[in-house]
Structure 1
């Protein structure tokens, strides 16, 4: 595999990967796929189809400053001159670069996933990337009419329901009338991850711009993408929890235990436990297994009238209403509370310590069993009018959604709990 660095400055590293294609692909990295050795964005997929590639990889979160691209252009001009078909490809920050420099780099096709129009706070309401804006690098950085080429085919993939990306898309669309827009609803800013597919990337580069064809290919990729379903669930769960209940009831799902990550498991079970009584069959369909405990009566109440429990499904301390605990008492275990001491729960007539590590991962340990080296028991401290749960120098805080996290001060009502 023939690779060589053809240009480098403080902002970007540019790598040529030799293949045997008639096309030259300009593959731009993003905030995640930044310069590392000779790696190129989407390298495995591009090598699979033996493309000639120039990988333009960012060293910093600096949105490919114009000065670096102009300096690069003289270095890659001999490569550009060899090809009639030059295809730009990138997502997010890389998608911005594809659109901004399509004309300058003589692209015949520009493929941008969830691109930005600009990160200048004067140009957009979106503040996700405002901290990376540097006037010395980014003066007049927005995609402008003079950047648009009449001979370039433009393709954008984005989620029309994701407000932050929609703002950028609408500003870009106003500049490119003949833009092919492919919508990927309810995926947020994750379109590139959802559609990660070598064959689909090959289609984006080589196939005629046929909207129906691309939607058919995207559906095929989504159908086999765990990431797609996880992303959609996380986007819709809080607003459409009933839909998941119907899916579980009407379909014989058998997801494996690794299908849903811990954060998504916590979101799903939290919504389901709050709004409906969960059955063990429902949890098994989602690949969630749980040991069933017995009821405990002692409860700590937060300032929002919720009660602290240990959630056997998410393995987190959380706060729920009394009705939710009553309906789901097999999974939501009240903390044992009498006086100052270690935080405990009782399961099947056996007591367990609640311990946590510095990554805020919680685990249960039998009362007399040794802890693993990285785990520290949570401590319950009884004050005159309230209790505080602490981990090292942090205090447990509960918000109005029942989500608990540790903060660096106990002088806050959200960290004060009363015994009911």
Structure 2
């Protein structure tokens, strides 16, 4: 593989991958695929089709500053002049750069996934990337009318229901009269991950745009994408409570343990328990391991939240959560009620054995049998009683339970959601 660095400064590293095709693809990295050695964004897919590639990889989270790009353009002009067909490709920060520098780099086509218009907090309401805005570096960084051209073809892919990305699209749209748009609902900012496919990338580069053809190809690719189903499930959880059950009932699958991140796993488990469908089969289908099972009859909870729900330790997600009594009863093998006494360490009774409930600085809980030594990184939780309320603390943090029953440890112990109370068991 013939690769060489053709430009580099403190913000970008530019790598040329020589191929045998007539086209040159300029592939922009993003926040995740930043400069690392000689790697190029989408390199495997582009190399598969023997494209000539210029990989512009960000070394920092600095949104391809114009000063760097102007210096680079002068340095690589001799390579650009060898090609009549130049295609820009990138997502998010890379999508922004592919559009913004389409004139500068003489691209005939640009394929931009979920691009930004700017990250300047004075220009956009989106605050996801505001911390990376540098007024000295990013003056007038928004995509300008004189940086694009109606003669160039622009293909934009985004989720119209994802408000943050939609704001950028609506600001970019008037600048691009010759644009094609592919909507990818319920994918959030993960459009590029959902549509990761060598063949589809090849289509975007080479295939004349036909909306029917591309939507057909997009449907085929997203049905094979774990990222797509992960986003769909996450989207549906809050809005359509029975949708998760329909997915489980209508599909025969068993997902890998790493398919969902910890936050989404907890939401899925919680939803199954609320639907009283937290069966071993359903949990296995979702790739959610079962850590402990309560076989013996548990005591009734005597710790309540401000929402008057009972505080429990979830033996599947290994998190502190709160539920109504009927849900705890329906899922008693997995939801272990807390029974506490004032000003003591938090302990639990599991199958007639007593455990301390501990946590570390990463928020990972462990059950430690009474009398056994604590791991060096784990500290016990403390149940505290004050004049008007109770609380559970870890070091300087206090447990807060929201209206959805999810618990997290926060610094503010005066928040009403941190207030608990004891009831007669």
TM over 0.5: yes
Partner of 2:71: 71
Runs of 4+ in 1 over 6 A off after TM superposition: none
Report the Cα distance in structure 1 between the residues aligned to 2:199 and 2:40, rounded to whole angstroms: 18
For structure 1, list consecutive stretches of 5 or more residues without a partner in the other structure.
none
| Residue pair 1:238, 1:271 contacting (<8 A) in 2 also | no
User: 1:139 deviation in Å?
Assistant: 2.5
Aligned residue in 1 for 2:254: 254
Distance change in 2, residues 1:319/1:298 (3 Å): closer
1:360 and 2:363 aligned: yes
Cα contact 2:236–2:243 (8 A) shared by 1: no
Superposition TM-score, scaled by structure 1 size: 0.93
Q: Is the 8 A contact 2:309 2:323 kept in 1?
A: yes
1:108 matched residue in structure 2? 108
Q: Which residue pairs with 1:381 in the alignment?
A: 384
Structure 2 residue aligned with 1:299: 302
Q: In structure 2, do the counterparts of structure 1 residues 372 and 220 end up closer, same or farther at CA, with 3 Å as the change threshold?
A: farther
CA distance in 2, matches of 1:243, 1:401: 18
2:176 aligns with 176
Q: 5 Å matches for 1:7-86?
A: 7-86=7-86
Change (3 A) 1:256 1:136: closer
Residues 28 and 97 in structure 2, CA contact (< 8 A), matched pair in contact too: yes
The answer to whether the aligner puts 1:394 opposite 2:400 as a matched pair is no
Q: What secondary structure, in the 3-state scheme, does the structure 1 residue paired with 2:186 have?
A: coil
Distance in 1 between residues matched to 2:174 and 2:206, nearest whole Å: 26
Distance 1:113-1:389 versus aligned 2 partners, 3 A rule: same
1:237 is matched with 237
SS at match of 1:157: strand
* SS of equivalent residue, structure 1 residue 174: helix
- Structure 2 match to 1:167: 167
Q: Are the aligned partners of 1:160 and 1:184 in contact in 2 as well (CA < 8 Å)?
A: yes
CA distance in 2, matches of 1:253, 1:12: 43
How far did 1:289 drift? 4.2
| Cα drift, residue 84 of structure 1 | 0.9
Deviating more after overlay: 124-133 vs 181-190: 124-133
Report the CA distance shift for 1:251/1:51 in structure 2 as closer, same or farther (over 3 A). closer
State whether residues 241 and 272 of structure 1, in contact with CA within 8 Å, keep that contact through their aligned partners in structure 2: no
Distance 1:117 1:261 in 2: 29
From the superposition, tell whether residues 250 and 171 of structure 1 become closer, same or farther in structure 2 (CA, over 3 Å): same
SS in 1 for 2:239: coil
2:320 is the counterpart of 1:328: no
Rounded to whole Å, the distance in 1 between the matches of 2:412 and 2:259 is: 36
Tell me the CA shift for residue 181 of structure 1: 0.9
Task: Write the deviation string for residues 199-247 of structure 1: whole angstroms up to 9, x where unpaired.
Answer: 2212211222122222222222222221221122112211122111222
- How far apart are residue 106 of structure 1 and its match? 0.5
Counterpart selection for 2:321 from 306, 318, 321: 318
Aligned residue runs from structure 1 range 135-146, under 5 A:
135-146=135-146
Larger deviation: 325-334 or 282-291? 282-291
In the other structure, the counterpart of 1:129 is 129
The worse-fitting range, judged by mean Cα deviation, of 317-326 and 378-387 is 378-387
Equivalent pair of 1:343/1:380 in contact (CA under 8 Å):
yes
Q: 1:54-94 CA distances to partner (integer Å, 9 max, x unpaired)?
A: 11112222211222211111001010011111111110111
In structure 2, how many angstroms separate the alpha carbons of the residues matched to 1:338 and 1:205?
A: 66
Rounded to whole Å, the distance in 1 between the matches of 2:39 and 2:284 is 41
- Give the aligned partner of residue 218 of structure 1: 218
Using the size of structure 2 for normalisation, the TM-score is 0.92
After the TM superposition, which of the residue ranges 310-319 and 333-342 deviates more from structure 2?
333-342
Aligned-partner Cα distance in 1 for 2:376–2:308: 36
Once the two structures are superposed, what CA deviation does each residue of 1:265-309 show, in whole Å capped at 9, x if it has no partner? 111122332354534433333233434313221321122222211
* Matched position secondary structure for 1:54: strand
1:344-359 residue pairs with structure 2 within 5 A?
344-359=347-362
